[in-house]
Chain A
């Protein structure tokens, strides 16, 4: 039973991570790419770590929880730093209908 849950979570994580990488490939500018990389990337990693923790012993569960908690704090901060740096250096917004409200 736990094997089926682990398989499902692993395939789900792969699908979400693939969506994130595909978004980074396809989005026109860095501001829209940040959405794909930070949100889909973190969710995919969380699902893969959950797949490892379902069948794992205490050591694996503790490390997986620690990594998910750490990434949930650090990923938005890193994405915000990259977006702010790109905006301060005047990188253009190429998506259609984009309005710079700053």
Chain B
């Protein structure tokens, strides 16, 4: 992608990260908090994808892959713990 689009995308995704962090801090319930944390990792994966597309940095996508796997397990464990006070039951 061209340079101006790259800088617009990075700045815009950084603003989105800040918005989601504020949402995470001011969530109304625990379910909304878990959801905001999931969305935060999703925006971070987008930021890593933009970084990988700029200069053929495939190692950024390695980090994005690990982050996607970890955030799935973390969301599932947090939701199940919130549901029954036990992570795996």
Contact = CB atoms under 8 A, between A and B. Distances in A.
Interface of A: 3, 6-7, 10-11, 13-14, 17-18, 20-21, 24-25, 30, 33-34, 37, 41-42, 44-45, 48-49, 51-53, 55-57, 59-60, 63-64, 66-67, 70-71, 74, 77-78, 81-86, 88-89, 91
Contact of A45 (B30, B42, B75): B42
B29 A52 contact: no
Interface string B36-78: 1011001101100110110010100110110011001001100
Contacts of A51: 1, 49-50, 53
A57 B61 CA distance: 12
Q: Which of A14, A20, A25, A82 has the most CB of B within 10 A?
A: A82
Contacts of B49: 45, 48-49, 51-52, 64, 67
Q: Which of B42, B50, B82 has the most CB of A within 10 A?
A: B42
Please tell me the size bucket of the interface on B: 35 or more
6 contacts: A10-B53, A34-B35, A45-B46, A55-B1, A74-B68, A86-B29
Contacts, number: 155
B1 A7 contact: yes
A10 B76 contact: no
